[in-house]
Amino acid sequence: MFIFISLSLALCFLVQTGSPLLKLLDAPVFIYAALAIAVACIVRMIFKKGAAKIWLDVFAGSVLIAWFAYWRSLFNEDSPIFFFFPLYFVFMAAFIELFFAGQQHKMDAATLRQMQMLAKRNVVQPWMIMLGVLASLALQQHYLLYPVTMTLLLIRFALFSYLEHK
């Protein structure tokens, strides 16, 4: 999740320093471009085109940009939501990358088989979670819904990337 972590860190830095680039990110073109990229990633995931790990990362990054551009007008200029949510995403994605995706060599064969069976029986596909993340952007009254759905996507990414290596 290099793209997502990088964009989250950049967003934290821009918000904390009060950079003039924030006004540029508020432009509607960023909302529409990011949403178009996100929808393209969902379509790629539905039809299983290309490396799903990359599409999940690009999706997460594009939705982060769309969230920031779309929600920034709804909150105060110095609202901590725009610093703490991306910082939370950085820590969560790094934790998942280090402690779940990077620990494939420590898993025994029986646990691996059970995880593969769980992934095969899973009725919630990654693209369904991606649609949930997109829907959470529109529900501005429930401002915690976006980080919760993004966390679910990160957990699904961890399972996907773990099983991809085996």
Q: Note the pLDDT of residue 159.
A: 77
pLDDT digits (tens, 9 = 90+) for 39-79: 999 999 888 777 788 889 999 999 999 999 888 878 776 77
pLDDT digits (tens, 9 = 90+) for 102-133: 666 677 778 778 877 877 777 678 889 999 99
- Count of C-beta atoms within a 10 Å radius of residue 164: 12
Q: Note the pLDDT of residue 36.
A: 96
Q: How far apart are CA 44 and CA 156, in angstroms?
A: 16
For the chain, which residues make up each domain, given as ranges? 2-165
Put simply, whether the predicted model's pTM sits higher than 0.75 gets the answer: yes
* CA dihedral sign, ordered 113, 92, 86, 143: positive
- CA nearest neighbour of 125 among 58, 65, 56, 50: 56
Token representation of residue 126: 């990654």
pLDDT digits (tens, 9 = 90+) for 10-21: 999 998 898 888
